[in-house]
């Protein structure tokens, strides 16, 4: 690129520099708290989150299957909306998260808000039953491994042995800010090893409550389901930046094997 052109539009070169050095250690925004994991100034593009395609706005609602006509469908939608946790939170009527924390009028804001307002009833590794989080993998393979593991657990719990095929949509997001870091190179003391217990979320949820009280924006941690992979759990909707839709994947599950491949591949 000519020198003058680069000066007029520095964004491509700036983005290239950031992608070449996605994590730049800068001064922490908050004084370190010795009772919490260390802070890392993170700048990471193109993290991967996979969610069931049935939640995408361009997919026909499953409610259409039980409606007799358009008027009946409208009544069903109204009933469904009355119990929709995301819509309730957007009206500032849900405990655990306030309306002012949610995002509006940005691409895929419903998908972003849903991650925080539809928590797992039992919570997850770094989220509670009252408040969800935006989970993503630094690598697509990490997100796939996490999804395949948890889907296998779901089927095992109900003793389901039949072949299943499910569609997932990929959502890419960028993150910049000070995240608490549980990766070995950052958390050398090993004090929080129990937060990465593959069989328990007890200690990680205790830490999550402390981090939320402290005003943490999230946690970066090694994937428990894929060795060498890295995950992020973001606690604040406004920090989930530049969300855009990626590819669609098909998960094929059997009692002996689980695969996830890109559609059309």
| pLDDT value of residue 264 | 78
**pLDDT one-digit tens code per residue, 175-192:** 999 999 999 999 998 999
Segment 197-222 mean pLDDT: 97
Q: pTM of the predicted model, to two decimals?
A: 0.79
Indicate the domain borders of the chain: 10-59+125-262
Task: Report yes or no: 48 and 137 within 8 Å, Cβ to Cβ.
Answer: yes
pLDDT band at 85 (very low <50, low <70, confident <90, very high): low
SS3 state of residue 260: strand
Query: What is the DSSP secondary-structure string of 178-237?
Result: EEEE-STTT-TT-TTGGGG-TT--HHHHHHHHHHHHHT--EEEEE-SSSTT-EEEEE--G
Residue 14 phi/psi, 5-degree rounding, is -65, -45
pLDDT band at 57 (very low <50, low <70, confident <90, very high): low
């Amino acid at each position: 690129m000519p020198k003058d052109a680069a000066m007029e539009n520095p964004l491509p070169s700036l983005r290239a520099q950031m992608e070449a050095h996605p994590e730049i250690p800068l001064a922490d925004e908050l004084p370190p708290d010795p009772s919490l994991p260390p802070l890392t100034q993170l700048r990471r593009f193109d993290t991967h989150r996979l969610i069931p395609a049935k939640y995408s706005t361009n997919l026909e609602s499953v409610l259409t299957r039980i409606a007799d006509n358009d008027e009946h469908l409208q009544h069903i939608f109204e009933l469904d909306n009355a119990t929709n946790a995301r819509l309730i939170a957007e009206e500032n009527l849900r405990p655990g998260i306030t309306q002012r924390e949610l995002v509006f009028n940005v691409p895929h804001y419903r998908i972003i808000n849903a991650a925080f307002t539809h928590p797992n009833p039992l919570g997850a590794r770094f989220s509670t039953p009252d408040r969800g989080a935006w989970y993503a993998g630094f690598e697509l393979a990490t997100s796939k491994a996490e999804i395949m593991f948890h889907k296998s657990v779901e089927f095992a719990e109900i003793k389901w042995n039949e072949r299943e095929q499910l569609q997932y949509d990929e959502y890419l997001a960028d993150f910049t800010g000070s995240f608490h870091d549980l990766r070995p190179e950052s958390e050398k003391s090993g004090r929080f090893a129990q937060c990465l217990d593959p069989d328990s979320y007890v200690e990680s949820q205790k830490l999550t409550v402390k981090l939320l009280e402290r005003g943490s924006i999230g946690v970066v941690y090694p994937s428990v389901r894929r060795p060498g992979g890295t995950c992020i759990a973001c606690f604040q909707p406004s920090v989930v930046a530049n969300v855009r839709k990626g590819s669609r994947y098909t998960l094929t599950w059997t009692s002996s094997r689980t695969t996830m491949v890109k559609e059309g591949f």
